[in-house]
Chain A
Amino acid sequence: MQITEELVSYVAQLSRLRMSPEETAEMQKQMSEIVSYMDKLNELDTDGVEPLSHIFNITNVLRDDTVAPSYAREDILKNAPEHTEETFVVPKTVE
């Protein structure tokens, strides 16, 4: 698969990342390396092999439906770049 500059910009836009032309070029190089490694894996014959859905062979890691205290609101908010006493603050996201 070809990792083009357009594709890198598109993925960056989906993630709301702003990148300089130099960063875009660097990303294009790194992502190409990752994807070509996938191509290497594709050389293997995987007919009849079940897709791996989790790296450990475990199922049903579950917890009981019991309420535990939530965090203090000031602790929840304190890492945010901007917040009021009650909520986070983000740029307006409505039409």
Chain B
Amino acid sequence: MEWEIVMGLEVHVELATKTKIFCSCTTEFGGAPNTHCCPVCTGMPGTLPVLNRQVVEYAVRAGLALNCDINQYNKFDRKNYFYPDLPKAYQISQLYLPFAHDGKVQLHTKSGRDVTIGIHEIHMEEDAGKLVHSLFGDTTYPDYNRCGVPLIEIVSEPDFRETEEVIAYLTKLKSTFEYLGISDCKMEEGSMRADVNLSVRPKGSTEFGTRTEMKNINSLKAIERAIAFESKRQIELIESGGRVVQETRRWDENKEKTFAMRSKENAQDYRYFPEPDIPPLYITDEELAHYRAICPEFAEAKAARFVSDLGLAQEDAEIIAGSKYLARLFEETNAIANDPAEVRYWMMTQVLYFMNERGVQAEDIKLAPEKFAQFIGIVKAGRINRQVGKQVFESMFFGDDSFDVEAYIKEHDLEIVDDKSLIEETIAAVIAENPKAVEQYKSGQTKICGFFVGQTMKRLKGKADPAAVNAVLAEALKKL
């Protein structure tokens, strides 16, 4: 039988505010355990949480960017659960009237399909603390530094059918929130986390199967593997006559398996009720109009402009515009260099190579557009060839603020050799020292020309223009 996978996503995104959602403790990452805490975020009796204005702005702007209807009147509720990651024994969240609902996200997947994913709702809530479990003893050590960090939870409709749609969706959320400047969305650091609800059904069926929820997935690669594992597990279970149980399963990255969590933790009875400490919110028409007005240009619009105005290929434009940081480097460099093709060349070859092969994150790129543009000027003037250019670019890319392109080229003696007589001398020497190769050439093996070029470039330390070497060589060989 052919099976179809049906998935819905719950994505938690930490908002990049300076302070926590209900108190003035810093949200700064790291810090010694329990040093970013106060009576409010550690749930001491008698304290009064007060909502952070910036959280509301960031949340509503996220809702607008995902094409949601905004509940201008919205409010908070208490989700009661007893677990030591949350010292109040309840989480302040939004259940009955969340701030955003009924949005949609258009996706362009890797295989080139256009897909629309519905957003059921988005709500604001507070993050929980971190639990460190002792390896041998029977104790757990809670650290409440992250407790009370503001989150939005984006609940999608069960509209996903393929893994590539999930990847495209998460990539798009990251890109959108980066452009809005409301979160850094680093999955590895936990500032963006995805729970995947997954069920399977016979292809063509319109009813949903029983779903499981996978938690604890912290990279795009892990999500791909978790979906592959869990869908296969469910299909094999059903095909062998079993039944899928609705439960929460934990993805174990090391064992590459999902595990059922203890059934007690599956007994979910949160006894929600309206949060008495936080008065309702009202978002005015003026605020909404203002947030719409300051909405930045997002990836698709930017990519379209790179194609139509700057002549980039669609695929390159999508990659560069997909990241706020790459787009900024590209645009600011091009504003000085005024040569989009050349800027694109170095970004798509070198920068992407460093990102893919050496794990460089776009947001960590330090290269200044001024320096990049200066480098492009030097390449275009023909003062260094592309091969040498790669070496210079790499040193510049990983160099610090004090890196000076001109000084580097001078110090390493990399400027191109355009002295024709030097090239002629070098070629003459190569020919004189390789009589065997000369014989081969004379017997008609013209492929040996590459050998002569290679030897010549080597002696010139790669600094000659390959075209010039070829021209001089052709003349020299004619005279043999």
Q: Say whether B140 contacts A15, CB under 8 Å.
A: no
B101-151 at interface with A (beta carbon < 8 Å): 131-134, 137-144
- Whole-angstrom distance from the CB of B75 to the nearest CB of chain A? 5
Looking at chain B's contact residues, is the secondary structure mostly helix, strand, loop, or mixed? loop
CA distance A94 to B80 in the complex (A): 19
- Whole-angstrom distance from the CB of B25 to the nearest CB of chain A? 5
B19 contacts A by Cβ under 8 Å: yes
B437 contacts A by Cβ under 8 Å: no
A20 contacts B by Cβ under 8 Å: no
Q: Say whether A63 contacts B261, CB under 8 Å.
A: no
A44 contacts B by Cβ under 8 Å: no
Known contacts A86-B32, A87-B132, A89-B141, A58 near B279 by CB under 8 Å: yes
Q: Which residue of A lies closest to B84 (CB)?
A: A90
Which of B52, B54, B137 is in CB contact (< 8 Å) with A92?
A: B137
- Tell me which of A24-32, A33-41, A69-77 binds B: A69-77
A65 contacts B by Cβ under 8 Å: yes
Q: Say whether A59 contacts B282, CB under 8 Å.
A: yes
B413 contacts A by Cβ under 8 Å: no
Residues in B neighbouring A55, C-beta threshold 8 A: 276
Looking at chain A's contact residues, is the secondary structure mostly helix, strand, loop, or mixed? loop
**Interface flags, B143-180, vs A, CB<8A=1, else 0:** 11000000000000000000000000000000000000
Q: Say whether A92 contacts B34, CB under 8 Å.
A: no
B398 contacts A by Cβ under 8 Å: no
Query: What's the interface size class on B, roughly?
Result: 35 or more
Residues in B neighbouring A65, C-beta threshold 8 A: 17-19, 52-55
Q: Say whether B24 contacts A73, CB under 8 Å.
A: no
Q: Say whether B274 contacts A53, CB under 8 Å.
A: yes
Which of A58, A62, A93 is in CB contact (< 8 Å) with B131?
A: A93
Known contacts A54-B274, A67-B26, A87 near B18 by CB under 8 Å: no
Most buried by B among A15, A68, A90: A90
CA distance A67 to B28 in the complex (A): 10
Which of B53, B75, B144, B271 is in CB contact (< 8 Å) with A14?
A: B271
Q: Which residue of B lies closest to A68 (CB)?
A: B24
Residues in B neighbouring A14, C-beta threshold 8 A: 80, 82, 269, 271
**Interface flags, B35-79, vs A, CB<8A=1, else 0:** 111110010100000111111100000000000000001010000
Q: Say whether B133 contacts A73, CB under 8 Å.
A: no
Q: Which residue of B lies closest to A61 (CB)?
A: B279
Q: Write 16 A-B pairs (CB below 8 A) sorted by A numbering.
A: A14-B80, A14-B269, A15-B82, A53-B274, A54-B279, A63-B52, A64-B53, A65-B52, A67-B18, A70-B38, A76-B34, A86-B33, A87-B33, A89-B139, A89-B141, A91-B140
Chain A residues near B (Cβ < 8 Å):
14-16, 53-56, 58-68, 70-71, 73, 76-77, 79, 84, 86-95
